[in-house]
C-alpha cells in the first residue's frame, strides 16, 4: 500500500479537501502512474453531489487522467517506466462477457469498475484522478501519443471518447450533416472531432456567446437555440445530432431537425426523466439513442486520431486548491472549455 495525497469529498455535497488515500501495492499486471493532470468533468459534480444516486464516500473524483508510468508489475508487457499514459472512466471489467470481448468494456454486463465512486473486484473503494498517483491494470491504461501534450490530453479520456465513440458509431463523416448541441466541455470536443472526421458541423448553443470559438474549432455553422427561428430554419436538416447537455432538452423540437432515418444521440445525462411524443420518432423513422464513453481499444484509437489531427481540449489549468471554485464555475457554464488540475499542486 502506498499513501498518496488526494482531494476528496467526505460526504455528499461536502467541499473537496486535501487528504491522504491508500493505493494498492503494484500487482503482477499493474501499472503505477504518476498523475500529471486530471480534468474536471461535469459528471464529477453530479456524483459528488449524489445527483445520480447514492455514492461512495470519501470520494476522490477524476476520470480524465494523464500521467507517466513510474513502476510496472512483473507481468506487464504493454508499458514501461517513463511511458506517457492515460486512464479514463473505467479501471476494470469482467473481461468475459460478449461486450468485453468485443472491446465494449464500457457496456460490460458482468459489471465494469468505474475509476471512482465504486468498489473494485476486491471490494475496495476506487479513487479517481484528483491525486498524486494511481495504480491500474495495464489493460485499462491507454498510451498518450507523443504529439499530444498531457494537459490537453487529459480531458480526452472522458470528454474526447464520449463524443468520438458516437460520432464513429453513427458514421459522422464526409457528406454528413452533424449538429452538436451544447458548447461546453463535451461539445467543444464534439465539434473538433466531427470536423476532423469530415462532417459538416453545426453548433446548436443556447446563445451566440461562444460562436467565435465554435467556428475556430471547426464548426461550419452556429445557431442560438434561444431563437425559435433556428428550429424553423433547420427543420429536417441533420443526419446526426449529438446532444452533450445535461439539462433536459425539448426532445420533440430537436427531433424535428433530423432528416428521415436521422439519429439524436444523447451523451449528456439529465437527472430527471424527459418527456417525448412518440410521433416525433414515427414521422421519419427517427432514432433517439444514448451512448456512454467508449471501450479501451476505441479510446486508444481516439487518442491516436487526436494526435494525428492536432486535436486537444481547450483547457484552463488550475491548482488543486481551486477545485471547489471550479465546480461552481462549471455549474454556471463559466469555463472555456475544461478545467484541468495541475497534479503537482495536490
With CB under 8 A as the contact rule, the residue among 25, 81, 119, 274 that binds a copy of itself is 274
For a copy of itself, what does the binding mask look like between residues 28 and 67, x meaning CB under 8 A? Answer: ----------------------------------------
Q: In angstroms, what CA-CA distances link 117 with 182, 184, 235?
A: 26, 24, 41
**Residue 222, number of CB atoms within 10 A of its CB:** 19
With CB under 8 A as the contact rule, the residue among 10, 20, 226, 260 that binds a copy of itself is 260
Sole residue written with cell 499513501: 3
Query: Residue 74 is placed in which grid cell?
Result: 512483473
Asked if 278 interacts with a copy of itself (CB under 8 A), we say: yes
CB-CB contact of 339 with 39 (8 Å):
yes
Asked if 244 interacts with a copy of itself (CB under 8 A), we say: no
Asked if 174 interacts with a copy of itself (CB under 8 A), we say: no
CB-CB contact of 70 with 81 (8 Å):
yes
Residue 152: strand, helix, or coil: helix
Q: CB neighbours of 269 closer than 8 A, spacing ≥ 6? A: 43, 46, 52, 246
CB-CB contact of 32 with 71 (8 Å):
yes
Closest CA to 85 of 36, 130, 25, 27: 36
Asked if 281 interacts with a copy of itself (CB under 8 A), we say: yes
Size of the site for a copy of itself (CB under 8 A): 36
- Using the minimum distance from each CB to a copy of itself, give the nearer residue, 52 or 310: 52
- Least distance from C-beta 89 to a copy of itself, angstroms? 12
CB-CB contact of 196 with 125 (8 Å):
no
With CB under 8 A as the contact rule, the residue among 208, 215, 269, 307 that binds a copy of itself is 269
Q: CB neighbours of 92 closer than 8 A, spacing ≥ 6? A: 112, 113, 120, 121, 137, 140
What does the DSSP 8-state code read for residue 91?
E
How far, in Å, CA of 148 to CA of 300, rounded? 13
Biggest alpha carbon–alpha carbon distance for the chain: 62
With CB under 8 A as the contact rule, the residue among 10, 207, 226, 277 that binds a copy of itself is 277
Site for a copy of itself in 138-167 (CB under 8 A): 166
- Least distance from C-beta 19 to a copy of itself, angstroms? 30
For a copy of itself, what does the binding mask look like between residues 99 and 138, x meaning CB under 8 A? Answer: x----x--x-x-----------------------------
Site for a copy of itself in 71-90 (CB under 8 A): none
- Using the minimum distance from each CB to a copy of itself, give the nearer residue, 160 or 218: 160
- Using the minimum distance from each CB to a copy of itself, give the nearer residue, 43 or 205: 43
Asked if 297 interacts with a copy of itself (CB under 8 A), we say: no
Asked if 175 interacts with a copy of itself (CB under 8 A), we say: no
Give the interface with a copy of itself as residue ranges (CB under 8 A).
98-99, 104, 107, 109, 166, 169, 236, 252, 260, 263, 266-270, 273-292
Amino acid at each position: 500500500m502506498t499513501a498518496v495525497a488526494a482531494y476528496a469529498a467526505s460526504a455528499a455535497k461536502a467541499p473537496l479537501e486535501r487528504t491522504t488515500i491508500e493505493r494498492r501495492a503494484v500487482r503482477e499486471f499493474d501499472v503505477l502512474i504518476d498523475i500529471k493532470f486530471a480534468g474536471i468533468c461535469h459528471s464529477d459534480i453530479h456524483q459528488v453531489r449524489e445527483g445520480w444516486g447514492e455514492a461512495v464516500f470519501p470520494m476522490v473524483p477524476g476520470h480524465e487522467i494523464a500521467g507517466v508510468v513510474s513502476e510496472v508489475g512483473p507481468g506487464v508487457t504493454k508499458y514501461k517506466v517513463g511511458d506517457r499514459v492515460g486512464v479514463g472512466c473505467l479501471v476494470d471489467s469482467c473481461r468475459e462477457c460478449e461486450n468485453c470481448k468485443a472491446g465494449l468494456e464500457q457496456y460490460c454486463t458482468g459489471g465494469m469498475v468505474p475509476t471512482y465512486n465504486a468498489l473494485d473486484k476486491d471490494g475496495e473503494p476506487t479513487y479517481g484522478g484528483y491525486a498524486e498517483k494511481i495504480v491500474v491494470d495495464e489493460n485499462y491504461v491507454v498510451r498518450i501519443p507523443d504529439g499530444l501534450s498531457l494537459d490537453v490530453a487529459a480531458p480526452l479520456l472522458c470528454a474526447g471518447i464520449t463524443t468520438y465513440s458516437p460520432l464513429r458509431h453513427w458514421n459522422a463523416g464526409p457528406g454528413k450533416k452533424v449538429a452538436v448541441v451544447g458548447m461546453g466541455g463535451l461539445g467543444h470536443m464534439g465539434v473538433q472531432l466531427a470536423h476532423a472526421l469530415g462532417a459538416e458541423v453545426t453548433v446548436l448553443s443556447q446563445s451566440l456567446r461562444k460562436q467565435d470559438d465554435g467556428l475556430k474549432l471547426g464548426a461550419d455553422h452556429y445557431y442560438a437555440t434561444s431563437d425559435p427561428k433556428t428550429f424553423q430554419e433547420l427543420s429536417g436538416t441533420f443526419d446526426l445530432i449529438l446532444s452533450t447537455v445535461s439539462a433536459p432538452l425539448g426532445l420533440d423540437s430537436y427531433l424535428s431537425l433530423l432528416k428521415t432515418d436521422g439519429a439524436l444521440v444523447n451523451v449528456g445525462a439529465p437527472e430527471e426523466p424527459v418527456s417525448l411524443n412518440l410521433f416525433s420518432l414515427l414521422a421519419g423513422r427517427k432514432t433517439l439513442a444514448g451512448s456512454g464513453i467508449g471501450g479501451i481499444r476505441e479510446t486508444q484509437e481516439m487518442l491516436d486520431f487526436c494526435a494525428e489531427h492536432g486535436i486537444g481540449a481547450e483547457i484552463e489549468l488550475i491548482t488543486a486548491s481551486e477545485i471547489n471554485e471550479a465546480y461552481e464555475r462549471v455549474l454556471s457554464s463559466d469555463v472555456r472549455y475544461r478545467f484541468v488540475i495541475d497534479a503537482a499542486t495536490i
